Amino acid sequence: MPRGEPVRRLHEGFLPGRHAIDAYGNGGFRFGEMSHRGSILALPSGIHAWQADGPEAFTPEMFAAVLAEREAIDVLLVGAGRDMAVLPAALGWMFREARIGVDVMATGAAARTYNIMLGEGRQVAAALVAID
């Protein structure tokens, strides 16, 4: 980063705006000229820190921020870690009722797909579990 340029920081676990995922791995992500250790939600409002260790621990409450922005989300990409996983049935129904399409895949694939869809101007969000 050039000298004298302000450093962008994640404030209160949130960076406003839509940002592509520049890198993932080593337990976190790079986006918006910054890095974050841990999982993230990439929503229309911005990128949020997300307390998620893996799909086996997903609960409806963990996706409350996604539902709060459902009017601006057509598709939610869920990066479940190193491997693909199955979303619990209760979550599938919750997203169906909210009219949000969900695609679950490995985190790397989800981050790459999110970037493509974001670049196309699609109404996409991502819930990405950090991987080492």
Predicted confidence (pLDDT) per residue in 21-72, tens digit? 999 999 999 999 888 999 999 999 999 999 998 888 899 999 999 999 999 9
Alpha-carbon distance of 68 to 66, in angstroms, equals 5
- Placement of tokens 């997300």 in the chain: 50
**79 C-beta neighbours (distance < 10 Å), count:** 33
Residue 72 domain-assigned? yes
For residue 114, the domain's CATH number is 3.40.1230.10
Asked, for residue 6, whether it belongs to a domain, the answer is no
Q: For 43, list phi and psi in degrees, rounded to 5.
A: -115, 170
4 belongs to a structural domain: no
Q: What is the pLDDT of residues 65-97, one digit of tens each?
A: 999 999 999 999 999 999 989 998 999 999 999
**Cα 37-64-122 angle, rounded to 5 deg:** 80
User: Does residue 112 lie in a domain region?
Assistant: yes
CA proximity to 94, closest of 104, 102, 106 = 102
Specify the number of domains making up the chain.
Answer: 1
Whether residue 91 is contained in a domain is answered as yes
Whether 7 maps to a domain, the answer reads no
Distance between start and end Cα atoms, the chain = 25
